[in-house]
Amino acid sequence: MSQLASEFLDFAIARKVLLFGEFKTKAGRLSPYFFNAGLFDDGLALKRLGEFYAGTILDSGLGVDGLFGPAYKGIPLVSSIAIALAAAGRNLPFTYNRKEAKDHGEGGHLVGAPLSGRILIVDDVISAGTSVRESVEMIRQAGATPCGVAIALDRMEKGQGELSAVQEVARDFDLPVLSIINLNDLVAYLQGREEWRATLAAIQRYRDAYGIQLT
């Protein structure tokens, strides 16, 4: 596990964005942990979150010309990431979309910089992959090229089949998916911490039942 991933887990747990217990997922599973990026809900938290994304993007070495944040959670994310990247010496344009097209003023669905070149989609997680699919379509319609997706957490668990939603996106669109942390990082973080022994055991059981097969 990288230092960045460890620091992000410290941060997410301290902010109570990452909680442990019993939580029902959209798939009806009882998960021993829950991640709610919407609770990064003040200026300092959003600033730090943007810095973690920026670090992950820069460390990846991925060639990026612009950022795209799908409405709604992607809007504050893409803004904070653009600011953090600029502070790190990488000034990139960013764009986001409206859920409904505006019929006055500048009009249209898109707000911000014109989409051009290689565009990185940013979101909190990938669940069903719907947001990514819609984003890919909008980017391509604008004449730009989707080059990847950056998320905060990869749960590394099966979707409807044997692949995870992240793996399906990577396969269907031939896009790399960058994540600040994944389930392996969480397990590594909890290992050796006596206070998290029961939590770790619950997560291991959940992973045995629903985790993807790693190749």
Q: How far is C-alpha 80 from the geometric centre of its chain's CA atoms?
A: 13
d(CA 134, CA 161) in angstroms, rounded, equals 21
3-state secondary structure the chain: CCHHHHHHHHHHHHCCCEEEEEEECCCCCEEEEEECHHHCCCHHHHHHHHHHHHHHHHHHCCCCCEEEECCCCHHHHHHHHHHHHHHCCCCCCEEEEEEEEECCCCCEEEEECCCCCEEEEECCCCCCCHHHHHHHHHHHHCCCEEEEEEEEEECCEECCCCCEHHHHHHHHHCCCEEEEEEHHHHHHHHCCCHHHHHHHHHHHHHHHHHECCCC
Give yes or no: 26 in active site: no
**Catalytic choice (24, 99, 104, 158):** 104
104 is catalytic: yes
- Of 47, 102, 109, 158, catalytic: 102
Backbone angles phi, psi at 144, to 5 degrees: -105, 180
Backbone angles phi, psi at 65, to 5 degrees: -105, -20
Contact 53, 74 (CB under 8 A): no
- State the catalytic residues: 102, 104
